[in-house]
Amino acid sequence: MEIFINLIALIASLGVLVFLGEKLIHAALRLAKAFGVSPTVIGLTVIAYGTSLPEFVVSSIAAVKQYSDLSVSNIVGSNIYNIAFILGIASIISSLSIKERIFAKRDGLVMLFAVVILCLFAYHEKIGRLAGIAMAVSIACYTYIIIRYDKVHGKVEPDKNLSKIREVVIVALLLAGVLVCGNFTVNYAVKLARSAGVAEWLIGATIVAAGTSLPETVVSIIAARKGEYAMSIGNIVGSNIFNILWILGFASILHPLTIDFHKIYPDLIFLVVITLLFYAGLRKGRLTKGEGVLYISLYAGYIYYLL
């Protein structure tokens, strides 16, 4: 009975978290329009970072509560899910054409850099505060470069019909709601793991990772169906970069993260492989339906391995 109650509570808290996350995305989009940001930048930053807020909240709170396994597994599992499942489904629905070559030349390389950094820290079994600060600075520089590039090449005018102050207040209120709900999600995830006798790593890499990635799922799949491929791809690339550099960086600033390399290395190998496959697709300029089937098959194999 205890397992059932904890499972229902976890699902309910994740549901509310995702609901608030989606509301926050819409509010952030309006905020972006109010300040004048191009669709490509919206996909890589506002939407990508917005859809990663549940991961941010869960991993940060888990770090404060010293649940390092849950904090790290949530990010590794989410990044695998983002590519293998979300892009797999999106490309099966419609082959994704990637006209924006900047994705491969700049954003894809940054995504690979973030994965390599994570692997190095995992090998040393710790992400300390100084490393976290360096990661946070890296994502800040990356975001600045994107915005700077957009100002030169985008030339999007702000929507004067939207109130900047009003949109900022709405975003702030929704963020507060996400933070509160995220605390419940972490608590129930840990309780479920313990009551079921399951390792926190497994819960974080599956249930919590998939649950916190639902906003990315909705945005990328809907964008693919509408032919907004840059939005669909940018959402995943930006989210995966943000997840590692900012979320784990910020979490380790709150409390240094310890990583059991012997437990995590198979997951990291899978993350490296699926990220390289994705980068190859970015270089090629498209993701086919056949590649989508391959991604889904690999994800099914990953879940089978975890279980």
- pLDDT interval class at 18 (50, 70, 90): confident
pLDDT at 236 (0 to 100): 92
Residues 6+ apart with CB under 8 A from 232: 43, 87, 90, 96, 219, 220, 221, 223, 224
- pLDDT interval class at 251 (50, 70, 90): very high
Find how far residue 31's CA is from the centre of its chain. Answer: 20
pLDDT at 297 (0 to 100): 95
- Quick check: 17 pLDDT over 90? no
pLDDT higher for 239 or 39? 239
User: How many CB atoms sit inside 10 A of residue 194's CB?
Assistant: 15
Q: What is the CATH number of the domain that holds 196?
A: 1.20.1420.30
pLDDT at 66 (0 to 100): 84
Least confident of 113-127, 161-175, 212-226, 243-257: 212-226
Rounded to an integer, the average pLDDT of 254-281 is 92
Mean pLDDT across the chain: 85
pLDDT at 59 (0 to 100): 87
Rounded to an integer, the average pLDDT of 178-182 is 77
**Residue 93 belongs to domain spanning:** 2-306
β-pair type (257-258, 286-287): unpaired
pLDDT at 299 (0 to 100): 93
Rounded to an integer, the average pLDDT of 222-230 is 79
DSSP assignment string, the chain: -HHHHHHHHHHHHHHHHHHHHHHHHHHHHHHHHHHT--HHHIIIIIIHHHHTHHHHHHHHHHHHTT-HHHHHHHHHHHHHIIIIIIIHHHHHHS-EE---THIIIIIHHHHHHHHHHHHHHHHTTEE-HHHHHHHHHHHHHHHHHHHHHHHHHT-PPP-TTS-HHHHHHHHHHHHHHHHHHHHHHHHHHHHHHHHTT--HHHHIIIIIHHHHTHHHHHHHHHHHHTT-HHHHHHHHHHHHHHIIIIIIHHHHHHSPEE--HHHHHHHHHHHHHHHHHHHHHHHHTEE-HHHHHHHHHHHHHHHHHH-
- pLDDT interval class at 79 (50, 70, 90): very high
User: pTM to 2 decimals?
Assistant: 0.82
What does the radius of gyration of the chain's CA atoms come to, in whole angstroms? 18
pLDDT at 39 (0 to 100): 67
pLDDT at 231 (0 to 100): 78
- Quick check: 214 pLDDT over 80? no
**Nearest to 199, CA basis, from 86, 80, 307:** 307
For residue range 6-15, what is the model confidence (pLDDT) as tens digits? 788 888 887 8
- pLDDT interval class at 137 (50, 70, 90): very high
Least confident of 39-48, 76-85, 191-200: 191-200
Q: Which two tokens stand for residue 137?
A: 């600075």
Rounded to an integer, the average pLDDT of 90-95 is 88
Provide the domain count of the chain.
1
pLDDT at 257 (0 to 100): 93
Angle between helices 53-64 and 68-80 (to 10 degrees): 160
